[in-house]
Structure 1
Amino acid sequence: MLMMGLTGGIASGKSAVAARLAALGAVLIDSDRIAREVVAPGSEGLAEIVAAFSDRVLGPDGALDRAALGAVVFADESARHRLEAITHPRVRARSAELVAAAAPDAVVVNDVPLLVEVGLAPTYHLVVVVQAEVSTRLTRLARDRGMERADAERRIAAQADDARRRAAADVVLSNDGTLDELHAAVDRLWRDRLLPYEANVRDRRAVRPERVRLTEPDPTWPQQYGRLAARIRHAIAPADLRIDHIGSTAVSGLAAKDVIDVQLTVPSLAEADGPLADRLATAGFPRVPGQWWDNPRPAGSDRWEKRLHGSADPGRPVNLHLRPEGSPGWRYALLMRDHLRADPNQRAAYLALKRELAASAPDTVTYTTAKDPWFDEEHHRAEEWAAQTGWRP
């Protein structure tokens, strides 16, 4: 089963995306619809809202007057938080019931308007944000809902801004064009990413690029790492283990394979082989089969054993290295990252080597092995730098 979070600002077109995904076969969980259910007449949710805001938020028929309630909470942040404290736990509980009823191979799309605001992004395998220009959204609110401009602007201002949503998004769908263009983008997402991602999660299969293709430095790599780390942290809770961005994508200015390297610090490899591995796989980070180790530095000593997990997401390859705290491989990954960050000359030398090897040794195994002599020599420089600067992992 794949859990996808869908969000977007008011009038962005989120509902159109949700409807298209449902037509393609997704199980849609509409948080707005559930939010209406949990405050229906006679419900505990409605009683609690009346107790908090008085019966001025009720209509003549005793049902919730959503417009009256909206006028209260969208003009008062503390009032909005009181409302969220009443409704959000009930919405989450009902959503969990619907997820439990879905088929094992389902793509479950949770349509959550305030997904970013309430910090739910790490709970999903993938977050999709629908985005449209504010001017477009204001036009839609006036045309489709008859909303006054001042009210529309208040509604938009009460939600997360576009930059905050983009930071939480694995996929951004632009909806300033036609409905046909939006549907085509949704269809590609379904075919090329969501369906294979779901199958990979279910089969516990990691995406492993076989060929080396260097990508120019991407300033969003650290942000992408941040989303991955948040998912990992949520998956392993209540364990509170150290997570680090390592490898070339963690070093500003380095071209790299477009694969995010993450190090998860574990107490021991036995711990890595326990329930932790299952929780990571369920979250979309399955273990890569086989024996994995790091070549020791300097060469000649015993290999540094580790566990390797990857990503089930075909759109975001990941190497997730599980190494025991204080082990040589654990320390070395952090040392080399920090040394290359601090030394522009060695960073430039490493970049030149990477470009040369990517051209002459395009398969992953040959490329990795061919870098060993350089790393053996660089290890000595890194240790000297650590001694001179007082570096600690």
Structure 2
Amino acid sequence: MSGSITADGQLRIGLTGGIGAGKSTVAALLAEKGAAIVDADAVAREVVEPGEPALQALVREFGPQVVDDDRALDRQALAAAAFVSAERTAALNAIMHPAIAARTQERFAALAASPVVVHDVPLLVEKRMGAAYHLCVLVDVPAPLRLDRLVRSRGLDREDAQRRIAQQADDAQRYEECDAVLDNAGEPAALRRAFDALWTERIEPFALALDSGRAQPAAEGPEGEPATEAEAAVRAHAPARLRRRLEHCLAAAGASTETLSAVTAEPLGFRLETEGLGGAEAVEGALRGGGWLAADRGLRVFADPVQPGRLHLR
């Protein structure tokens, strides 16, 4: 995804997790709360349905053997033709990525009135997409348990399942990119309790702040010691994630990030020298859309109640 995170007033969440982690379960819980869901896998399937321009482009590029007698995509035939070299894979990506991006933007545009929109993206971490969302939520399950679930519940061959897991990001990379962790290694009731707490304590007040356009009183961040190693790792990378979000906002407004610096006295504090920045109105709009709301003169506060960054404009 490119451009600003979202239109004013809407909370955009990136939802991810390794294969077999249970993203669809969490997506259903979010939908129960009224969040709109954009499923990246569903979009990827839609753009190659019969008659779609992307499917026609695939046929031109890789030959008629990539469709079956019903003119539907033969995924195995496409894989055999596309994954034979880096050049062929790049040709596949050159067709698929723009088509998926355009359809995704259409979905988001159609959901402009939704207070909370969730983008269910399996490869969010691998593609370093976190800065494009206000909040990234990870459905977390240890790899051995995911492997067991894939074999027992989905009927995958164990070696195939191991290969798929190995091709994805590891836990450390996910904790670096994501802001919140939902442990789905236990019973469904435990996941439900953790989700309800995340919604009540973080997602709902975050969405309300964006909708009102008013920054809440600046908190000091999470209270107490992290309960798990995963939570500790997620907290440790919070400043870097916020900085990437700021850089994303400024880039969307065509502004340079050269004058953006950290405030050492504030763990989640930043300073932006605005002299000569240009396009002040565009910058202000990008920051507001990115979740950085005006608090006092020269101060913007990131509206996440658990990760309340502060941006000083000078």
Distance 1:212 1:166, change over 3 A: closer
CA contact (8 A) 2:255 2:283 kept: no
TM-score by length of 2: 0.83
Q: Does residue 1:239 correspond to 2:248, yes or no?
A: no
Code of the residue aligned with 2:256 in structure 1: it is D
* Matching residue of 1:83: 92
Tell whether 2:135 aligns with 1:160: no
Matched residue, 2:305: 314
Q: Distance in 1 between matches of 2:62 and 2:303?
A: 46
Q: What is the Cα deviation at residue 78 of structure 1? A: 6.0
Give aligned-pair identity as a percent.
40
The 5 Å alignment of 1:355-366 reads none
Q: Which runs of 5+ in 2 are unaligned?
A: 1-9, 227-231
Q: One-letter code of the match for 1:285? A: W
Greater shift, 211-220 or 1-10, is seen at: 211-220
Q: Which residue of structure 1 lines up, in the alignment, with residue 30 of structure 2?
A: 21
Task: Pick one of 72, 80, 99 that aligns with 1:63.
Answer: 72
Greater helix percent: which structure?
Answer: 1
Structure 1 residues 193-204: aligned runs within 5 Å: 193-204=202-213
Deviation at 1:210, TM superposition (A): 6.7
Partner of residue 124, structure 2: 115
Quick one: which amino acid aligns to residue 208 of structure 2?
A
Query: d(CA) in 1 for partners of 2:284 and 2:173?
Result: 31
1:341-360 CA distance string (max 9 Å, x none)? xxxxxxxxxxxxxxxxxxxx
Aligned pairs for 1:137-216 (under 5 A) are: 137-209=146-218
Q: Distance in 2 between matches of 1:129 and 1:221?
A: 13
- Structure scoring higher RCO (CA < 8 A, sep ≥ 6) equals 2
Report the 3-state secondary structure (helix = DSSP H, G, I; strand = E; otherwise coil) of the residue aligned with 1:173: strand
The amino acid of 2:293's aligned partner reads P
Query: Residue 63 of structure 1 aligns to a residue in which SS?
Result: coil
Residue 286 in 1 paired to residue 297 in 2? no
Distance change in 2, residues 1:144/1:105 (3 Å)? same
Larger Rg computed on CA atoms: 1
Contact 1:5 1:110 in 2 (8 A): yes
Q: TM-score, normalised by structure 1?
A: 0.68
Letter aligned with residue 242 of structure 2? L
**Residue in structure 1 matching 2:268, options 249, 260, 264:** 260
Residue identity matched to 1:313: D
Q: How does 1:296-335 map to 2 (within 5 A)?
A: 307-323=298-314
**SS of aligned partner of 2:299:** strand
Alignment match, 2:4 = none
Q: Which amino acid aligns with 1:193?
A: R
Residue number in structure 1 paired with 2:50: 41
How far apart are 1:75 and its partner, in Å?
A: 8.3
CA offsets, 1:28-48, max 9 Å, x none? 011111111100012121122
**Match of 1:277?**
284
1:167 partner letter:
E
| 1:94-133 correspondence runs (5 A) | 94-133=103-142
Contact 1:127 1:168 in 2 (8 A): yes
Asked if the contact 2:273–2:313 (Cα under 8 Å) also holds between the matched residues in 1, the reply is yes
Shift of 1:173: 1.4
Query: In 2, distance between residues paired with 1:127 and 1:223?
Result: 13
Q: Indicate if the aligned counterparts of 2:62 and 2:82 stay in contact, CA closer than 8 A.
A: no
Structure 1 319/187 Cα, relative in aligned 2: closer, same or farther at 3 Å?
A: same
How far has the Cα of 1:52 moved from its partner?
Answer: 4.0
**What is the aligned-residue RMSD (CA, Å)?**
2.9
